[in-house]
Structure 1
């Protein structure tokens, strides 16, 4: 059993690291518990992903982020956040998952896959990338289906269905097409998403217009089989040949962890967690939220650049109430 910490941070992503930097500067004892590697979600992003934001808007802890291009790439972000963690000697426990946060005599007992911790304050900064939104259709559990797109080379010369119309789906469609895949997009709405990166949106629209990438709008996948898929389209149901399905249907926070910790969630589909936006403290005393997890199912509200100040709010509140 570990000694009590002033602050235990669940999640070693950019915002979790930012919280640790603030805690260290404030002279508080702290530990980060991360289920994977450092900035695990960013590590699982597509290999060639380019961020929408400029590098200075991704900086944490006033540490400069120097990028070759105005908008940094995944490898540059991994290099930056890893160097921040190592150079500042942050106390990070990797490949250890938090499974329970339990009140215990004025503090919290945090259970992980490797042991127990005690902390006066807990910060949950778990993001939203770990749990995909499932299609709930026959065949979704086949090995040919993935909710995490990584590298386009794998799909060369194959019949590929990409589900979705936002950045991740558009990137997957364009990259696999350019590596020789025969790509069909299946899109629930009538158009490519409005939030798609402005330098990419014309590219996918032109590829669809010229027929290089096939797109079924106002449509949905209804079944997946080993060599084909069924699509419900405005023209009726169709069946097409298929080798792989890349389902970019979005992700959701770990609501189970929040609920087990006693954090209230809204009754609507957004499942918004209860917290004070000034202090980031939840309805559970001394449990705080930071980063994307604050948005519940509305995962497009919070990003690295607009939630970096959560770290300052949280540690400032802890110091003021010490």
Structure 2
């Protein structure tokens, strides 16, 4: 549509991830006009997951809209998930607008006006389902802006026969360390605590611990990365500083919701950066503006997942239908 045109929908959903799609399905079932807008591709966060990633959850716990998710193994992989959510989108013929960024959202006389990179919309209700994968947690150390530093990891082949330093001890860090090691990389891990993270997948934990024990992967526990240089890194360890040769730094330090976008849209954040919302209706401090999915947890990104936040779509639509009646 032309930038000057304005389209009205009863419900506008920001984010075309699994939960945003689930909200679209519920809006469709309720007979509400709706649109789903995303600044990236369909299920953009899942697309940016590592190529060979396997979910912790079983396939049935990732289902939306009552559509069966059939996978070869009990725990599906990234490619199976991309195929599943694309087919769900096709089945329901969801009204999705991709590669369209929301720039602003304001409410006037009980109507929201949303400006995007491609057009202008008005809506009676807005649902924010943007997840938490857009903004990496930075280490704020010298050299973090060097080209050899990555916060998103896709394919281990790129790092074959290189010296790779992995920061972190959770699932993403462990996956990077094991996959690059098996492609011939010389892998070193820097871990702030004295063990792997408690949420590391149970079938992966013995693998990484054994690789460290046998010395195939070097690990510095109770340590921090202090500085990144062109050809080396400096690690602060209990025994003092260590400088080692390095080609790439995989800073798997976690991610956070786009708090600037939330505030721009009018959502109030508490002292812990958790968006204020009603836990039964998912409505925020601004009437008619709702949250769905991982974004509800603020910095606590381990609180909500696809499997336990699918219900948000139903909660939100129930409240919208009640308000409209």
Q: TM-score, normalised by structure 1?
A: 0.98
The match for 2:66 is 62
- Structure 1 gaps of 5+ residues are none
The match for 1:208 is 212
Q: For 1:26-45, list aligned pairs within 5 A.
A: 26-45=30-49
The match for 2:312 is 310
Counterparts of 1:205 and 1:77 in 2: how far apart (Å)?
28
Shift in Å, 1:101: 1.3
- 1:281 aligned onto 2:271: no
Shift in Å, 1:5: 0.6
Counterparts of 1:189 and 1:215 in 2: how far apart (Å)?
11
How many residues were matched structurally? 320
Shift in Å, 1:2: 2.6
Taking only aligned residues, the RMSD between alpha carbons, in angstroms, comes to: 0.7
Counterparts of 1:245 and 1:104 in 2: how far apart (Å)?
47
Shift in Å, 1:111: 1.3
Choose which of 249, 253, 256 in structure 1 pairs with 2:257. Answer: 253
- 1:228 aligned onto 2:219: no
Q: Secondary structure at the match of 1:183?
A: strand
Q: For 1:43-54, list aligned pairs within 5 A.
A: 43-54=47-58
Shift in Å, 1:210: 0.5
Counterparts of 1:3 and 1:170 in 2: how far apart (Å)?
46
Counterparts of 2:7 and 2:145 in 1: how far apart (Å)?
42
The match for 2:126 is 122
The match for 1:108 is 112
- Does structure 1 retain, via aligned residues, the 8 Å contact 2:7–2:120? no
Q: For 1:148-167, list aligned pairs within 5 A.
A: 148-167=152-171
Shift in Å, 1:109: 0.6
- 1:295 aligned onto 2:297: yes
- Structure 2 gaps of 5+ residues are none
Counterparts of 2:108 and 2:7 in 1: how far apart (Å)?
14
Counterparts of 1:257 and 1:149 in 2: how far apart (Å)?
24
- Does structure 1 retain, via aligned residues, the 8 Å contact 2:23–2:314? yes
- Does structure 1 retain, via aligned residues, the 8 Å contact 2:54–2:76? yes
The match for 2:142 is 138
